[in-house]
C-alpha cells in the first residue's frame, strides 16, 4: 500500500540528509588523501637545489645536487662539518659512510654514454656520488644506488667505481657549494666541486669516435638517418676523415648517392670516392672525383681540401685549392684555400702572401679582419688551422 504525500515528506528529508552526510564524508576523505600525497610549493630550507650539465663530445654529463652555504664557518668545514674518510654517522645502516658531496638527498651524476673518470672506465648510467674527504686527497665514489637520502645507508657493495684525486686549495672562499666544468676539449672536461677554500677536480673523458659510431648505428634505420642523404654523407665523411669504420662507412656513402633518398653531388661523390680509395678501388675513386669536381662550389672545394689536410694528404689538398683559386682568384674561400695549402706545405712566406691578397680583395670587413688575424698570427709564429 503506497504512502500518502504527507507521509513521504519526512522519508525524503531523511534520505537527503543521509546523502549530504555521505558526500561530506567522501569530500573529507578525498582532502585527507590529497594532503597525504601532495605538498605545496615553498622555498627550500636554505640548501638550494641545482643542476649543471655539459656535453663532452656528444655525451651529456648531468649533476644534480643541493648547495649548502658556509655561513661564517670558514675553517670549520673540512674535517669537522664534513667528516674525513668513511665514518659512522650514528644514523641509518652505514657504519662507514662517505660525505654526500652536497646536502640533503645524495648528489647524483648521470652519463648518457660510457665514460672514463681519471682514465678509469665507468658505464653509462645515473650514479649516487659520494666523496671520502681527506686533507690532501679525496676518494670519489660512484654508487649504483642513486636514490638515497645522504649517505646514511651507503653500502660499498653498490660501488661502481672509486677514484682517488688530489684536493686543491682556493685563495678565495666559495660561499655556496658548486659543481663547475672547465678545461673542455673535444673529448674531455674537468668537473670540480668547489666549496669554502677547497676544490676537488676530476677529469671526465670519452672515447668520442666509439660513441659517435654507436650513435650513427643507432640512428641508421631511423627516418632521421636514411631518409636524408645529408646525414648519410656526414656519417660516411666522419669515418673517412678519422680513418675508422671504413667498411661500414662505404655502405653509408653508397646509399647517400644511389638510394631513393640519395643524391649524386660533389659532397656525396667525393666522400664515396675517398672511401673507395681506402678500399683499394682507386680506378673507381678517380672516376667519381672527376665527375664530382665540376659540381663543387668554392666553399665545398675549401672544405674538401681541408679534409684532405686532416688526412695528411697535403699535396692533394694544395692541388684542389689551386684549382679553386684559378677559377675564383678574388673569392675569399679561394684565397683562404691558398693560405691553407701553402701553410700545410710549410711555406709560410707564400701563405702570408695569399693572406695579403685575400685582405686586399675582400669586400666584406669580416673577411678582411680574418685575413689580418691570419697574417698577424703567422708573423708571430702561432699555429693556425688546428
pLDDT one-digit tens code per residue, 123-137: 999 999 999 999 999
Collapsing DSSP states into helix, strand and coil, what is residue 61? Answer: strand
Q: Which CATH class is domain 209-379?
A: mainly alpha
Residues 6+ apart with CB under 8 A from 183: 189, 190, 203
Sheet holding 59-67, edge to edge: 48-56, 59-67, 107-111, 125-132, 137-143, 159-166
| Cβ proximity of 120 and 161 under 8 Å | yes
Q: Is the dihedral of CA 123, 124, 130, 132 positive or negative?
A: positive
For residue 243, the surrounding DSSP H or E stretch is none
- φ/ψ of 58, rounded to 5, equals -115, 15
Average pLDDT over residues 62-81: 95
Collapsing DSSP states into helix, strand and coil, what is residue 167? Answer: coil
Average pLDDT over residues 143-149: 93
Q: Is residue 310 pLDDT above 60, yes or no?
A: yes
Average pLDDT over residues 345-358: 95
pLDDT of residue 17: 56
pLDDT of residue 321: 96
Structure confidence by residue, pLDDT tens digits, 169-215 = 999 999 999 999 999 999 999 999 999 999 999 999 999 999 999 99
**Gyration radius (Cα) of the chain, Å:** 33
Residues 6+ apart with CB under 8 A from 79: 133, 135
Angle value at C-alpha 18, between 15 and 23, nearest 5 degrees: 125
Average pLDDT over residues 351-376: 94
pLDDT of residue 386: 73
Q: Is residue 2 pLDDT above 70, yes or no?
A: no
Q: Is residue 336 pLDDT above 70, yes or no?
A: yes
Q: Which three cell numbers stand for residue 101?
A: 658531496
pLDDT of residue 40: 62
Residues of the chain with CATH 1.25.40.10: 209-379
| Cβ proximity of 159 and 97 under 8 Å | no
Q: Is residue 94 pLDDT above 60, yes or no?
A: yes
Q: How confident is the model at residue 41 (pLDDT cuts 50, 70, 90)?
A: low
Q: How confident is the model at residue 27 (pLDDT cuts 50, 70, 90)?
A: very low
Provide the β-strand partners of residue 123: none
- φ/ψ of 332, rounded to 5, equals -60, -45
Q: Is residue 16 pLDDT above 60, yes or no?
A: no
pLDDT of residue 66: 95
Provide the β-strand partners of residue 189: 204
In the predicted model, what is the mean pLDDT of the chain?
A: 89
Q: Is residue 33 pLDDT above 50, yes or no?
A: no
pLDDT of residue 320: 94
Q: How confident is the model at residue 5 (pLDDT cuts 50, 70, 90)?
A: very low
Whole-angstrom distance, CA of residue 212 vs CA of residue 207: 9
- Regarding pTM above 0.85, the answer is no
Q: For residue 72, how many other CB atoms are within 10 A of its CB?
A: 7
pLDDT of residue 222: 74
Portion of the chain with pLDDT greater than 70, in percent:
88
Whole-angstrom distance, CA of residue 6 vs CA of residue 219: 79
Distance between terminal CA atoms of the chain?
Answer: 104
Q: CA 279 from chain center: how many Å? A: 33
| Cβ proximity of 298 and 324 under 8 Å | yes
Residue scoring higher pLDDT (302 or 16)? 302
Average pLDDT over residues 250-268: 93
pLDDT of residue 35: 45
Collapsing DSSP states into helix, strand and coil, what is residue 133? Answer: strand
pLDDT of residue 145: 95
Q: CA 261 from chain center: how many Å? A: 30
Q: How deeply is 29 buried, as exposed, middle or buried, from its count of CB atoms within 10 A (0-12, 13-18, 19+)?
A: exposed
- φ/ψ of 206, rounded to 5, equals -135, 155
| Cβ proximity of 257 and 272 under 8 Å | yes
Q: For residue 277, how many other CB atoms are within 10 A of its CB?
A: 17
**E strands of the chain, at which residues?**
48-56, 59-67, 107-111, 115-117, 120-122, 125-132, 137-143, 159-166, 168-182, 188-205
| Cβ proximity of 276 and 285 under 8 Å | yes
Q: Which three cell numbers stand for residue 337?
A: 684555400
| Cβ proximity of 179 and 49 under 8 Å | no
Amino acid at each position: 500500500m503506497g504512502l500518502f504525500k504527507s507521509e513521504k515528506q519526512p522519508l525524503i528529508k531523511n534520505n537527503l540528509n543521509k546523502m549530504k552526510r555521505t558526500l561530506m564524508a567522501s569530500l573529507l576523505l578525498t582532502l585527507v588523501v590529497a594532503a597525504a600525497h601532495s605538498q605545496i610549493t615553498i622555498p627550500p630550507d636554505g640548501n638550494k637545489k641545482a643542476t649543471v650539465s655539459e656535453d663532452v663530445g656528444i655525451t651529456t654529463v648531468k649533476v644534480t645536487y643541493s648547495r649548502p652555504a658556509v655561513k661564517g664557518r670558514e675553517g670549520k668545514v673540512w674535517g669537522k662539518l664534513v667528516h674525513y674518510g668513511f665514518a659512522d654517522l650514528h644514523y641509518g645502516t652505514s657504519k662507514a659512510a662517505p660525505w654526500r658531496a652536497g646536502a640533503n638527498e645524495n648528489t647524483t651524476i648521470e652519463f648518457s654514454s660510457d665514460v672514463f673518470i681519471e682514465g678509469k672506465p665507468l658505464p653509462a648510467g645515473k650514479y649516487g656520488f659520494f666523496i671520502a674527504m681527506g686533507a690532501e686527497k679525496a676518494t670519489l665514489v660512484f654508487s649504483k644506488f642513486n636514490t638515497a637520502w645522504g649517505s646514511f645507508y651507503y653500502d660499498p657493495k653498490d660501488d661502481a667505481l672509486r677514484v682517488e684525486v688530489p684536493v686543491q686549495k682556493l685563495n678565495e672562499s666559495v660561499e655556496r657549494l658548486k659543481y663547475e666544468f672547465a678545461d673542455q676539449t673535444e673529448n674531455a672536461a674537468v668537473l670540480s666541486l668547489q666549496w669554502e677554500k677547497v676544490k676537488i677536480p676530476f677529469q671526465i673523458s670519452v672515447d668520442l669516435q666509439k660513441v659517435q659510431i654507436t650513435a650513427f648505428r643507432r640512428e641508421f634505420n631511423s627516418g632521421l638517418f636514411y631518409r636524408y642523404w645529408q646525414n648519410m654523407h656526414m656519417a660516411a665523411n666522419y669515418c673517412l676523415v678519422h680513418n675508422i669504420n671504413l667498411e661500414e662507412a662505404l655502405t653509408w656513402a653508397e646509399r647517400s648517392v644511389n638510394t631513393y633518398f640519395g643524391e649524386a653531388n660533389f659532397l656525396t661523390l667525393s666522400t664515396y670516392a675517398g672511401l673507395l680509395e681506402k678500399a683499394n678501388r682507386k680506378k673507381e675513386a678517380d672516376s667519381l672525383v672527376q665527375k664530382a669536381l665540376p659540381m663543387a662550389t668554392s666553399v665545398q672545394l675549401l672544405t674538401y681540401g681541408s679534409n684532405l689536410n686532416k688526412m695528411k694528404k697535403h699535396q692533394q689538398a694544395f692541388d684542389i685549392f689551386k684549382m679553386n683559386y684559378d677559377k675564383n682568384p678574388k673569392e675569399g674561400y679561394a684565397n683562404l684555400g691558398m693560405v691553407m695549402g701553402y701553410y700545410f706545405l710549410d711555406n709560410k712566406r707564400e701563405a702570408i702572401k695569399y693572406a695579403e691578397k685575400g685582405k686586399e680583395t675582400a669586400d666584406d670587413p669580416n673577411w678582411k679582419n680574418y685575413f689580418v688575424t691570419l697574417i698577424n698570427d703567422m708573423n708571430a709564429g702561432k699555429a693556425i688551422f688546428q
